[in-house]
Amino acid sequence: MREVELLAPAGDLEKLKIAFIYGADAVYIGGEVFGMRSAAKNFSKEDMIEGVEFAHSMGKRVFVTVNIIPRSEDIDALTDYIKELSEIGVDAVIVSDAGVFNIVKKVDPNMEIHISTQASTSNYIAANFWYNQGAKRIVTAREMSFEETKQLRENTPEDMDIEAFIHGAMCMSYSGKCVISNYTTGRDANKGSCAQSCRWKYNLVEEKDGEYENVLDNEDYQFFFNTKDLCMIKYIPQIFDSGITSLKIEGRMKTAYYVATTVRAYRMAIDAYYKDPENWEFNPMWLDELKKGSHRDFSTGFFLDRPGKNSNNYESASYIRNYDFIGIVRDVLDDGYIIVEQRNKMSVNDDIEVIGPYKETMFTTILEMYNEDGEPIESAPHARQIVKMKLGIEVDKNYILRKPIIKG
């Protein structure tokens, strides 16, 4: 069976390592310049070197986004940046602009190039054009269906990779080409500074005889640009059948907890398909796990059909959060205690859940906690507080602790 790549976002070095530990085959990252997510923490040169070394030690790969739409004034610095990426040994660069493509070919003819979703590749003629120029991979436009993707696959060379977003935030504009942020905030979405103005609350009005009347009388419909998140975990067989070779998760600005939970769920679903493709059945637990991370309501985007009115959330742009990420295991001691780095407040006697890579969700209770001076404590309220604790189960490094948010 053809294997697929599970491609995860990594906004910083911690997220990169978590992505690989929890089952990603590759990650995509941004440097400090020339990427489409300038608000993410992103990677310094030193972090990028460490991240690439960590990935290669595990037989994994690192792709770097260079997918802005540059101006002529950017060219000299961009050329130097490509040289730096080549020296670091990144596995591929993701580009959307023909000029950037040519710079990469000139600086390092052997560097693997992926054509970004920003290039809006939605047909096999365009895909073959990029392949003939030397591109190894096409990241398809997010507006493609399974059938359209299958047609593209059937009319392109077998050694050309097809990458598609299968989970995460959707853009209301075609393949991310949006200027609302530029207009409302002066932040250029096409140079990595999108303010997500589409998530804001608006009134839609129509001019009639010099007066403005509300088009939408119902106030519950004022978030009319606000798209739901994409989630395709129910459709793993269709993904394989369509010819997609890389399954991409959106979210370089999301937390390490989001990366871990999302990668872990899709890893389980994909591995279950590898094990028995003929009898693969969707496990509702995988979707439950995705819902335990911060998310919006889910949709299937364009994969099954053109989105209709149910593809947007008109009532609110807020994320749904049902669980708090409370800590990550940094060390396991010989005496049965563990060292945890706190991320949200936790207390003795809290009933919690623990997740680990390639493991089922575990349920336990915090039995004891001690501060760095070895003194017993009842709670850990301080950000990134280092805590020694005992749980009712055995865990390992990089396991994640979470607890339900009590509402009411």
What CATH number does residue 286 fall under?
Answer: 3.20.20.70
For residue 123, the model assigns a pLDDT of 97
- How many C-alpha atoms does 90 have within 13 Å on its Cβ side? 29
Does residue 357 sit within a domain? Answer: yes
Closest CA to 48 of 36, 39, 38, 56: 56
- Are 329 and 305 found together in one domain? no
Does residue 86 sit within a domain? Answer: yes
Residue 24 tokens, joined: 């990603």
The residues of the chain scoring below 50 in pLDDT are: none
For residue 35, the model assigns a pLDDT of 61
Specify whether the CB–CB gap between 42 and 253 falls below 8 A.
no
- Are 94 and 21 found together in one domain? yes
- Are 118 and 29 found together in one domain? yes
Does residue 201 sit within a domain? Answer: no
Does residue 210 sit within a domain? Answer: no
- Are 267 and 331 found together in one domain? no
Domain of 78, in residue numbers: 5-173+226-311
- Are 279 and 352 found together in one domain? no
Contacts of 178 (CB under 8 A, 6+ apart): 171, 172, 189, 190, 194, 198
Angle between helices 124-133 and 146-154 (to 10 degrees): 50
- Are 306 and 330 found together in one domain? no
Does residue 193 sit within a domain? Answer: no
Q: What is the DSSP letter of 57?
A: H
Number of domains in the chain: 2
Q: What is the DSSP letter of 179?
A: -
Does residue 215 sit within a domain? Answer: no
Does residue 218 sit within a domain? Answer: no
Q: Which residue has the tokens 């994320």?
A: 319
Alpha-carbon distance of 264 to 6, in angstroms, equals: 10
Does residue 212 sit within a domain? Answer: no
Residue 262 tokens, joined: 């999302």
- How many C-alpha atoms does 183 have within 13 Å on its Cβ side? 5
- Are 251 and 332 found together in one domain? no
Query: Which burial class, exposed, middle or buried, applies to 31 when counting CB atoms under 10 A from its CB (0-12, 13-18, 19+)?
Result: buried
- Are 331 and 389 found together in one domain? yes
For residue 192, the model assigns a pLDDT of 63
H helix runs in 155-235, sequence order: 180-185
Tell me which amino acid residue 302 is.
Answer: F
- Are 89 and 21 found together in one domain? yes
Q: What is the pTM of this model?
A: 0.90
